Amino acid sequence: MPDVAANSVLLVSPTALAVAPAAGGPLAGMPILLKDNIETADMPTTAGSLALSHNAPGRDAPLAARLRAAGAIIIGKANLSEWANIRSSESISGWSAVGGQTRNPYDPERTPCGSSSGSAVAVAIGLVPVAIGTETDGSITCPASVTGVVGFKPTVGLVSRTHIVPISHSQDTAGPMATTVEDAARVLTVIAGSDPMDPATAEADARKVDYAAALDADSLRGARIGVMRFLLPNYSEETRAAFETALRAMRDAGAEIVDITEAPADFRRIGGWELTVLLTELKHDLNLYLASTNPAQVRTRTLADVIAFNAAEPRETVLFGQDLFERAEATGGLDDPEYVEARTNSLRAAGPEGIDRMMAEHQVVALVAPTTSRAWTNDREDEDDMQGSASRLAAVAGYPHLTVPMGFDRGMPVGISFIAGKWEDAKVLSLGHAFEQRTLARRPPGATVH
């Protein structure tokens, strides 16, 4: 097995083969990997951290239980950026103390992005047709884009987060990563639904549909698509060129392309508000999660305990520290006026006055932009860094965001993002499916790229 394949997988299920003969249902026999922050009864759930290396509470997350009931075979756990990239502002995408460094299969010297890096790479190299990732902001869509696969971040509240190691109850969600939109839609149909243990999912049963059945390869015809041109200066020249080719393909498919040149009013302030929300909720939510684990297996019972563990464990801090954990520990809780103001402002600016207003004022059914540019190098000393991102508005608003392969930037895959309003998951998937079927832009690692 190639080194990059090994580094995309943390654990192999000891029960997968035993379960396989009895598999049945809409996903019968489909092998699936779960990001290793999602609990299963048969494997530990580490979030890539040595502090959780023995965390095996013997329970399936509702998401995992739904997959098993549908006949899917959970074959193992995928590597990830440790603690889903929230430990340090200097964290390395795809690295965890438990799993080491996941590599981008198109160029091992370039990042797989994070934090669902192992999930993306496993799909890209064909280990599994579908893997489950999680996203708080860009953690499904970025790794999917830079490894040439489909990634879908659902509306927050469509998929249960119970028994998933958390960052933020405002923004966290799990979602599928696949080689096709159709496979992502099939899996979403299974994992979507209400969960009494996750209040955010109260509307999920009433909102969910058969997402695969709702796909329409002709859905771009007559659709008004808004282009978030105010984002484009941030991307590389090559990615911008690939994006213009993608827009021509959509026009050829019958879409009307509408340029949106002005950013939402508070667009530049959203990032600061978002960080306040994430750090405050991290302390609250992670403390609750750790309290739910088995104390005989997990000695770190609070975020403060994890910080102390890391400080005493050289294998954790060999590459970077934990400044974000330390800032989170210093936050004042969910009643802190700074947090309450930041959450109110960020939701307003990203949702009603962001995505919703742009769609209404320009009378478009979805928004598009490049997901990000080519994967940047793993060398911190060079100037080849991340260029552009379409994830923040949908992440903060909690709205659906799909990335689909659209082309290449210096031989590295790049994706196009489709974004729309809350609960418009089926529409986003259908538009992305229509684009995918029109362009067939994906090329697996090792294939000739022109």
**pLDDT tens-digit profile of 365-412?**
999 999 999 999 988 777 788 999 999 999 999 999 999 999 999 999
Tokens of 87: 């430990």
DSSP one-letter string for 301-361: -SHHHHHHHHHH-HHHHSS---HHHHHHHT---TT-HHHHHHHHHHHHHHIIIIIHHHHHH
Is 139 an annotated catalytic residue?
Answer: yes
Tell me the percentage of the chain whose pLDDT exceeds 70.
97
Q: Which residue reads 């600016």 in tokens? A: 349
In this predicted model, what pLDDT tens digit does every residue of 315-372 receive, in sequence order? 999 999 999 999 999 999 999 999 999 999 999 999 999 999 999 999 999 999 999 9
Q: Is residue 337 part of a domain?
A: yes
CB 383 within 8 A of CB 241: no
Percent of the chain beyond pLDDT 90?
93
Residue 22, pLDDT > 70, answer no
21 has pLDDT over 70: no
What six digits make up the tokens of 436? 């995918």
Structural domain includes residue 173: yes
CATH number for the domain including 171?
3.90.1300.10
Alpha helices for 116-265 (secondary structure H): 117-124, 141-146, 181-191, 204-207, 237-252
Q: Give the CA-trace dihedral at 346, 352, 356, 362, to 10 degrees.
A: -110
- Judge whether 228 lies within some domain: yes
pTM over 0.85: yes
Which residues form the domain of 409?
3-196+208-439
Domain membership of residue 445 (yes or no) is no
pLDDT tens-digit readout, 125-168: 999 999 999 999 999 999 999 999 999 999 999 999 999 999 99
Task: Give one word for 263, left, alpha or beta, with left for phi > 0 and alpha for psi -120 to 50.
Answer: beta
List beta partners, residue 100. Answer: 96
Contact 127, 133 (CB under 8 A): no
Q: Roughly what angle, to the nearest 10 degrees, separates helices 270-291 and 303-312?
A: 90
Length of the chain: 450
Tell me whether residue 203 is in a domain: no
pLDDT in tens, 223-255: 999 999 999 999 999 999 999 999 999 999 999
Q: Is the peptide bond before 115 cis (omega within 30 degrees of 0)?
A: yes
Span 418-447, average pLDDT: 97
- The pLDDT score that the predictor gives to residue 4 is 43
Does a structural domain hold residue 450?
no
Question: What would the two tokens of residue 314 be?
Answer: 């050289």
Q: Is residue 44 part of a domain?
A: yes
Alpha-carbon distance 382 to 338, whole Å?
Answer: 37
Is residue 121 very low, low, confident or very high in pLDDT (cuts 50, 70, 90)? Answer: very high
How far is the C-alpha of 20 from the C-alpha of 285, rounded, in Å?
A: 35
Strands 401-409, 150-153: pairing kind: antiparallel
Q: Is 438 helix (H, G, I), strand (E, B) or coil?
A: helix
Structural domains counted in the chain: 1
Q: Does 284 map to a domain?
A: yes
300, 293 contact by CB (below 8 A): no
Least confident of 8-22, 248-262, 265-279, 286-300: 8-22
- Residue 6: pLDDT above 60? no
Largest CA distance in the chain: 61
Question: Which of 49, 88, 96, 115 is an active site residue?
Answer: 115
Q: What is the mean pLDDT of the chain?
A: 96
Residue type, 147: T
Q: Is 35 labeled as catalytic in the residue annotation?
A: yes
3 state DSSP class of 430? helix
**What pLDDT is recorded for position 176?**
99
Catalytic residue among 8, 13, 35, 208: 35
Confidence of residue 18 (pLDDT cuts 50, 70, 90): confident
Query: Is 283 annotated as catalytic?
Result: no
d(CA 343, CA 223): 33
Q: What's the N-to-C CA distance of the chain in angstroms?
A: 27
The active-site residue out of 139, 170, 346, 389 is 139
